[in-house]
A and B are shown apart, each in its own frame.
Chain A
Amino acid sequence: MYGATVEPIEDIRTDEEKLAEFEGRIARGEKIEPGDWMPDEYRRQLIRMISQHAHSEVVGMLPEGAFITRAPNLRRKLILIAKVQDEAGHGQYLYHAAETLGATREEMLDALLSGKAKYSSIFNYPTLSWADMGAIGWLVDGAAILNQTMLAKCSYGPYARAMVRICAEENFHRRQGQDIVITLALGTPEQKAMMQDSINRWWWPTLMMFGPHDTDSPNSAVLIRWGIKTKTNDELRQTFVDQTAPELMALGLTIPDPDLYYDETNGHWHFGEINWDEFWNVVKGNGPCNAERMAARRQAHEDGLWVREAMVAYAEKHQS
């Protein structure tokens, strides 16, 4: 009944004409949509970025999920459950955005479970105390929001729209994190010490989240040219330090960087050099929790097999 014969619509433009038109659209601030012509490299870069981003949301559920049963009261527990649910949803929005470029969800999931795909290195660090829920919400989600606010303006429509939705929800994540940090930092000496220990462990890995220096970031130029990114890794990292450092210090917390100071000459916070050996080591799979995270994902996939089989059996029974 849907077999109506439809002549495919032929595109007679040359690749040069298409590229010129594509770049013109980006220059005018138009969004590129699924089905529009785009260079293969644009598609490839977007699939790489969006699927990595999706995997990060999915793996990102694990460090916090571990603390749902250890929340200090019912309200905090409800908040944490809601936050972890949001991360699952964000993963789904992003897999959907990548699918509009021709990647399949199955391919992406296989790439994650086989260890071929990358995800944000931050989730390969362990959560050791309740204070880490505060540090993750404020620092890690705060850093993510800066990146995502930029991507909400990116040239690819489905990615930009997913980001708008995600940013709105991530702001709740950051606020609840700040709420935990404030409560602990202004609490008993033991609570404050716990919070300080957490900041000490999460500060540097958070700065690494923005990625390598611009000079060592091979994809940056093409991403900026095609309007996928509009700010560089170093620009975003500086914005994060400028925002976050004075707020943490106002709470009486210290930042584990002896080279950190406010530079009156340029109005920015100067910070020390990141340990890039540590960064690349974690990216290459040798971080404190890489193996644990992958094992947990694979286990969840295996454990869900009977549910998927039951759903297929149900669907088949109702079809016949």
Chain B
Amino acid sequence: MSDTHASDTQWPRYMVLHQEREDKPHQHAGTVHASDAEMALLNARDVFVRRPDCVSLWVVRADLIFARTQEELALNPDWLDNIQATSDRTEAYYVFAKLTQKAQFSHIGEVEAENPPHALKMALQKYPKTQGLVWWVFPVKVVLKSTPDDIAAMFSPAATKDFRDQANFHALSVLRKLMRDQKQEAE
């Protein structure tokens, strides 16, 4: 808006990854903007966890994610071969992939790598059977995660709000009965 609103400059974008149940992988839920990772985690909770289907939430700055589509990789098959490790200073990277047209990005695993392109190369080698339409890699250490201690405050309250579930309203059965009764009366 006006020049005096310096703080209105857009805040960084964070990718939100959420886990519905312990036995399911983290999946991409969407993005939030926030002044820092801590606020991003709180915003992510408000935007994406209004229904009781979350046990863990991660946020990572979108600009720290290295992404490649299958299409891009196919267009230039030499690109990966040209990536070589140059030192032995590696760190852990998370690997996410989008497996089908309909699916969200899903957590595939971890690799040790020197830099993001190298991490992608390592991921393709480590998970040869995974047909990723799009791949994401980002360092483990740049992710801010909710902890098991956060569950009670951040995720559990949604479970008591049963009125958010359409199944708890009986409008449809009331309407159907009313219409059935009226039809019978008319006949």
Contacts and interface: CB of A to CB of B under 8 A. Distances in A.
A312 B76 contact: no
A168 to B, nearest CB: 8
A112 B133 CA distance: 35
Nearest to A5: B117
Interface of A: 1-2, 4, 6-7, 9-12, 30-31, 33, 35-36, 75, 78-79, 82, 85-86, 89, 92-93, 96, 99, 104-106, 110, 113-114, 157, 161-162, 169, 171-172, 174-176, 178-179, 182, 246-247, 250-251, 301, 305, 308-309, 311-312, 314-315, 318-319
B175 A182 contact: yes
Contacts of A175: 166, 169, 171-172
B79 interface: yes
B147 interface: no
Contacts of A176: 163, 169
B144 to A, nearest CB: 12
Given A35-B67, A82-B50, A10 B75 contact: yes
B72 A308 contact: no
A305 B35 CA distance: 13
A179 B169 contact: yes
Contact of A311 (B35, B171, B182): B35
Interface of B: 1, 5, 7-11, 13, 30-36, 39, 46-48, 50-51, 64, 66-69, 71-73, 75-76, 79, 82, 98, 101-102, 104, 114-118, 133-134, 161, 163-166, 169-172, 174-175, 178-179, 182
A146 to B, nearest CB: 16
A7 B82 contact: yes
Given A82-B163, A175-B166, A92 B32 contact: yes
Given A11-B75, A33-B133, A250-B178, A178 B169 contact: yes
Given A35-B67, A93-B47, A9 B79 contact: yes
A315 B9 CA distance: 14
